[in-house]
Amino acid sequence: MSDPVLSDVYCDTMGELFNIGMGRAAKSLSDMVNEEVVLSVPNFKAVKYDEALELFNDITNEPVNAVEQFFDGQFSGNAVLFFTNHSSRELVQRIIGEVPASQDLGDMEHEALKEVSNIILNACFGCIAEVLGCELHSGVPKIVAGDLNKVMGTQCVNLGPEPLVLTLSMTFSLPNKSISGQVSLLMTSESIKKLIKELERFSSLYAM
């Protein structure tokens, strides 16, 4: 096993940041769907791209619906939030209250999924930027659907030979229903180094 991408301490910090972001996203979503939405982040991992793929393949073999958003600032990369077909349909169903008749989501359902994912990802970006006190911009969200490996493959085209992935499984807890999604930040090793620098700076601020 190679050296860990992030030390345990930084993993905890990142996990905490994502947790705060999820809390904000959950509030926005609750307001939007008029029912209580709880978003939780069971675990956070920082791994190499190949390990991430293995991890994802363990989660599902189904085709997925993914929303991607690039981000840049002090560090940059692609953020991806994906749901299995089944989960995305259930999520959309809960949010827009309509049952999509066909197996695949239509354009309008994709758009709803895009907006929900955008809220979550922006909340994460916002939190990281705010807490770490760095600048982080994001591009517009795009939907990519299909085979998981293919979907993820398109994300790392510009991320150098050995992209790294910060990833976390998240769960939407709606009344009577839990829907899982996977949030990932794909970054070049350069960007990770910058992130680590930011984390170091952040820790030193609060170091006793």
Partner 1 sequence: MLKSVASLERVIFDAASQGMIIVDARYQIIEVNRWFIDSIDLCKSEMVGKSLFKVFTFEREQFIKQTINQACKSGLSSFLSNSLHPRLFPLLNRYQNCSRYMDQSCYIKPIRFDNQSYCLIQVQDVSNTVAREKLLSKTSSTLNLFKTAVEHSASSIVITDHQGIIEYVNPKFVEIAGFSQEEALGRSYFALSSLAHEPQFQSSVMQTLQQKDSWHGERSFVTKSGVKYWVNEFIYQARNSNNVPSNLIAIQDDVTQIRDIARKASYQASHDSLTGLINRKEFDSVLIQNIEMAEQTPAHVLCFLDIDQFKVVNDTSGHGAGDELLRQISVVINENYPEEKVLARLGGDEFAILLYHTDLEVATQQCEHLIYVLHDFRFRWEEAVFSIGISIGITLINEQTISSIEAIKQAENACDAAKDMGRNRVYIYQEDDSALVQRQGDTYWATKINEALEDDLFVLYAQPIVPLQHKSKISYEILVRIHDGEGGVIPPGLFLPAAERFNLSHRIDRWVIDNTLKWMMNHGEEIDHVEHISINLSGLTLSNETLLNYILELVTSSKIAPRKISFEITETAAIANLVQAKHFIDTLKKLGCQFALDDFGSGLSSFAYLKNLNVDMLKIDGMFVKDMIDDAIDEAMVKSINDVGHVMGMETIAEFVEDDDIKNRLIELGVDYGQGYGLGKPVPIDQIVLKSVEIA
For partner 1, the closer of residues 96 and 196 by Cβ is 96
Q: Which residues contact 54 (CB under 8 A, 6 or more apart)?
A: none
Q: Decide if residue 16 touches partner 1 (CB under 8 A).
A: no
Q: Extract the tokens encoding 64.
A: 């997925």
Q: Which of 91, 129, 159, 192 binds partner 1 (CB under 8 A)?
A: 129
Exposure on the CB side of residue 77, measured as CA atoms within 13 A: 27
Tokens of 31: 């307001």
108 binds partner 1 (CB under 8 A): yes
Tell me which amino acid residue 87 is: S
Q: Is 205 in the site for partner 1 (CB under 8 A)?
A: no
Instruction: Give yes or no for residue 101 binding partner 1 (CB under 8 A).
Output: yes
Distance CA 109, CA 116 (A): 11
- Residues 49-88 within binding reach of partner 1 (CB under 8 A): 69, 73
String of DSSP letters for 101-139? -SSS--HHHHHHHHHHHHHHHHHHHHHHHHHHT--EEE-
Q: Does 15 bind partner 1 (CB under 8 A)?
A: no
Contact between 9 and partner 1 by CB under 8 A: the answer reads no
Nearer to partner 1, 141 or 163 (CB): 141
Query: What are the residues binding partner 1 (CB under 8 A)?
Result: 28, 31-32, 69, 73, 92, 95-96, 98, 100-102, 106-109, 111-112, 114-116, 118-119, 122, 125-126, 129-130, 135-141
